[in-house]
């Protein structure tokens, strides 16, 4: 099974929790054992599994990325002023794979799935959700 969900992002550097949308697709698939792959299309965004108990960890991730990879000093900025966005996305990576266990994602209590937007705001980011069922 494969679906594409669309997410809009309100800021340049932000983590957007997309866990509930992925959970809905996993439930709809009726897969009891397998894998769900979450992949963002685009070279300036990423997918990350991280804590979402409160907004401090996502904000810390954004702050770390801004300190490690500041805006406005990269060669690619001469083309479209988003060199930092490409580098951040490259570090995070475009996807994550989560096991499906007894019909639910195998995330721990504090793990959530985030779209990492490094080049927003964006009206639409396409996230491809692919479910592979395995036999137990």
Using the Cα atoms of residue 91, residue 95, residue 100 and residue 104 in order, give the sign of their dihedral.
positive
Please tell me the pTM assigned to this model.
0.95
Q: List % helix, strand, coil for the chain (3-state, nearest 5).
A: 30, 40, 30
Cα separation of 36 and 135, whole Å? 14
The mean pLDDT of 42-59, rounded to a whole number, is: 96
The burial of 45, by beta-carbon neighbours within 10 Å (0-12 exposed, 13-18 middle, 19 or more buried), is given as buried
Decide if pLDDT at 121 tops 90.
yes
pLDDT confidence of residue 136: 66
- State what percent of residues in the chain have pLDDT above 90: 98
Structural domain boundaries in the chain: 2-133
Q: Which fold has domain 2-133?
A: Jelly Rolls (2.60.120)
């Amino acid at each position: 099974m494969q679906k594409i969900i669309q997410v809009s992002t309100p800021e340049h550097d932000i983590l957007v929790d997309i866990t509930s949308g992925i959970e809905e697709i996993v439930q709809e698939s009726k897969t009891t054992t397998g894998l769900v792959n979450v992949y963002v299309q685009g070279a300036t965004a990423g997918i990350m599994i991280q804590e979402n108990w409160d907004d401090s960890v996502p904000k810390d991730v954004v702050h770390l990325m801004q300190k490690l990879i500041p805006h406005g000093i990269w060669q690619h900025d001469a083309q479209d002023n988003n060199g930092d966005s490409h580098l951040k996305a490259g570090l995070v990576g475009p996807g994550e794979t989560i096991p499906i266990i007894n019909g639910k994602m195998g995330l721990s209590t504090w793990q959530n799935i985030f779209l990492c937007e490094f080049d927003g705001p964006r009206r639409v980011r396409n996230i491809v959700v692919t479910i592979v069922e395995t036999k137990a």
